[in-house]
Chain A
Amino acid sequence: MKSKMISLPYLIWMLVFTIVPLGLVVFFAFTTPEGQFTLDNLTNAGQYISVLLRSIWLALIATAICLLIAYPLSYILSRMHVNRQRTFIMLVMLPMWINFLLRTYAWMTLLENNGLINRFFGLFGLGPFNLINTEGAVVLGMVYNYLPFMILPLYSILTKIDNSLIEAAQDLGAPSRKVFAKVVIPMSMPGITTGITMVFVPAISTFIISRMLGGGSNLLIGDLIDLQFLGNAYNPNLGAAISLVLMVLILLFMSIVNQFDDERTEGMLL
């Protein structure tokens, strides 16, 4: 009974700020502005399928790039001397101390047609290249902003892999490549799935990054929702319906990812 009391503050928090709003989203999604039941919002949401697909596509690319950059880095980091590990993790976290908007603005000034990068190329008579307002710029923004969320879970799980397990694999005849494929990667699966979730979910629903770096032509699902609530297109019911679709999509994605993280890895943190 007492232990239940301890969780009370969070239960209240969850009720007020999660359950109730979720109920409201569902309610809005299935009603007209006048409050009558309708499925129109959901069917209307269907016409934005291209925006949805682009959001999924860009988020997937960003997640894949994050994984490709973060995994080798985290592995090397986890095998370093402890003191140096701390310094490097500090460096990874450093950009997160600066405001998110500010960081993205900085990228705008870098990528602009007369921005720093193009001026640098200009010195050699190259360019200007069209860097900003492209899908590439949006992906870059996502990778830049969400990379630490991939590195941290990977790093924390990789440091838990005891060196003697790697030696045991070598001892049993595995060259480095096989040690990696048969021991390190399977054992770091929980970190991989956490990292993917922590990058993919914010990436698919972002609207700031796409608006600032993607220009008007790279509308994402997050921008769409934002427009329905705060923009000129004001239509909270449609916004709620799109949100609902996005939510289902994310749930689906997470359940797929978690398939790779089944009970085989359950005992590994013991």
Chain B
Amino acid sequence: MENIIRLRNLVAEYDGERVLNDISLDIRDKEFVTLLGPSGCGKTTTLRIIGGFLQPKQGDVLFEGKRINALPPYKRQVNTVFQRYALFPHLNVFENIAFGLRIKKLPEKEIIRLVGEMLALVGLNGYEKRNVGHLSGGQQQRVAIARALVNHPKVLLLDEPLGALDLKLRKGMQVELKRIQQSMEITFIYVTHDQEEALTMSDTVVVMKDGNIQQIGTPQDIYNEPTNAFVADFIGESNIIDGIMHEDFLVEFAGQKFECVDKGFGKMQLVDVVIRPEDIRLLPPQEGDISGVVESVIFKGVHYEMIIDACGYKWTVHSTLCEEPGAIVGMHVKPFDIHIMHRMEEE
């Protein structure tokens, strides 16, 4: 697969404040890429630069190998699904979707056919004449997607499109968006702060923070092999503990030495030790590597979330076993589940 969009050393500023710090990113054709990060990380800024609504201060945007920095939005072969949908309130559902086609001056018959196709794709047949202001959030969302897709863009940009929907609807739309992306075979660039959404839909996840890219990888890579404690913490919950790397495959934390699978950190180095809550096994106190006191238990549906106080750190543990608060428990972690990371620079 070739790269459809390449971003080269992008720098962007808002009111003199730097929001993108030398970003480079290649996006392959027909890929579902998610830009993931907390608010203010620069993900929307990146999207707006690709859409042409914002000029980078430095760097290049390449589309199919051509530099498009100076190309205005209306000449770009990308379409956007805006955060709050941005439907035209003076037009009905049909005319909203037909907007781009009418600009292109397509014949009326063709417009009716294409809009009909799109309405079927997003499941809104029969809504042609509806006023967009009278639609539910989920329906408005579908109109916004249809309005962008009807132009058959090479790349679709989506700016937190599911942010305003309730949980159930969001889950449904996630599956549907993935289906649409695969059936239409176009590149999706999706911006979200919801890690679960990113993992569910993406081929590639780009984790961003403070205008920098932290990690690029498949959802599995990002989840299982986070490059630093920020990514580990942002993608799912994590216990992040100070540790000392004694030598390859041996790390000390919580007052004990543990076998691990990481190497190449040098000897006696301060590191971050990251352990997923679901990777901690609860055992009777004497059988565990570490023992601690259960502080609180919350029922989460599939599992219980427990906070366990051990060795001066409050561990988050997910388990299907339920322990009473106050109980003393032992904890065990397999070497494979201990992730060692370089310390992040102090903020």
Chain A residues with CB under 8 Å of chain B are 162, 164-165, 167-175, 178, 182-183, 186-187, 189, 264-265, 267-268, 270
- Of the A-B pairs whose beta carbons lie under 8 Å apart in the complex, a sample of 19, sorted by A's number, is A162-B86, A165-B86, A165-B88, A167-B51, A168-B82, A170-B53, A170-B74, A171-B51, A172-B79, A172-B100, A173-B75, A173-B104, A174-B74, A174-B103, A187-B90, A267-B90, A267-B132, A267-B134, A268-B90
B236 within 8 A of A: no
User: What is the predominant secondary structure among interface residues of chain A facing chain B?
Assistant: helix
B163 within 8 A of A: no
With CB as the reference atom, state the residue of chain B lying closest to A167: B53
B73 within 8 A of A: yes
On chain B, the residues within 8 Å of A187 by CB distance are 88-90
With CB as the reference atom, state the residue of chain B lying closest to A185: B90
Using an 8 Å CB-CB cutoff, how does the interface string of B44-74 with A read, 1 for contact, 0 for none? Answer: 0000000111000000000000000000111
Given contacts A182-B99, A267-B134, A270-B133, contact A171 B74 (CB under 8 A): yes
The answer to whether B90 touches A171 (Cβ under 8 A) is no
On chain A, the residues within 8 Å of B84 by CB distance are 162, 164
The answer to whether B80 touches A168 (Cβ under 8 A) is yes
The answer to whether A186 touches B86 (Cβ under 8 A) is no
User: What is the predominant secondary structure among interface residues of chain B facing chain A?
Assistant: mixed
Using an 8 Å CB-CB cutoff, how does the interface string of B184-217 with A read, 1 for contact, 0 for none? Answer: 0000000000000000000000000000000000
The answer to whether B99 touches A172 (Cβ under 8 A) is yes
The answer for the CA separation of A170 and B82 in the assembled complex, in Å, is 12
On chain A, the residues within 8 Å of B102 by CB distance are 182
Using an 8 Å CB-CB cutoff, how does the interface string of B124-141 with A read, 1 for contact, 0 for none? Answer: 000000011110000000
With CB as the reference atom, state the residue of chain A lying closest to B133: A267
**Residue in B75, B78, B88, B134 whose CB lies within 8 Å of A168:** B88
The answer for the CA separation of A27 and B151 in the assembled complex, in Å, is 64
On chain A, the residues within 8 Å of B72 by CB distance are 170, 175
B43 within 8 A of A: no
The answer to whether B82 touches A164 (Cβ under 8 A) is yes
The answer for the CA separation of A78 and B80 in the assembled complex, in Å, is 24
With CB as the reference atom, state the residue of chain B lying closest to A178: B103
B147 within 8 A of A: yes
**Closest Cβ–Cβ distance, residue B106 to chain A (whole Å):** 11
**Closest Cβ–Cβ distance, residue A249 to chain B (whole Å):** 30
**Residue in A164, A171, A174, A265 whose CB lies within 8 Å of B79:** A171
The answer to whether B151 touches A172 (Cβ under 8 A) is yes
With CB as the reference atom, state the residue of chain B lying closest to A161: B89
The answer for the CA separation of A267 and B53 in the assembled complex, in Å, is 27
With CB as the reference atom, state the residue of chain A lying closest to B90: A186
The answer for the CA separation of A174 and B104 in the assembled complex, in Å, is 9
**Residue in A165, A173, A182 whose CB lies within 8 Å of B74:** A173
With CB as the reference atom, state the residue of chain B lying closest to A162: B86
With CB as the reference atom, state the residue of chain B lying closest to A267: B133
Closest 9 CB pairs of A and B: A267-B133, A172-B100, A268-B89, A164-B86, A168-B86, A170-B73, A173-B103, A171-B80, A186-B90
With CB as the reference atom, state the residue of chain A lying closest to B102: A182
On chain A, the residues within 8 Å of B80 by CB distance are 167-168, 171
With CB as the reference atom, state the residue of chain B lying closest to A175: B74
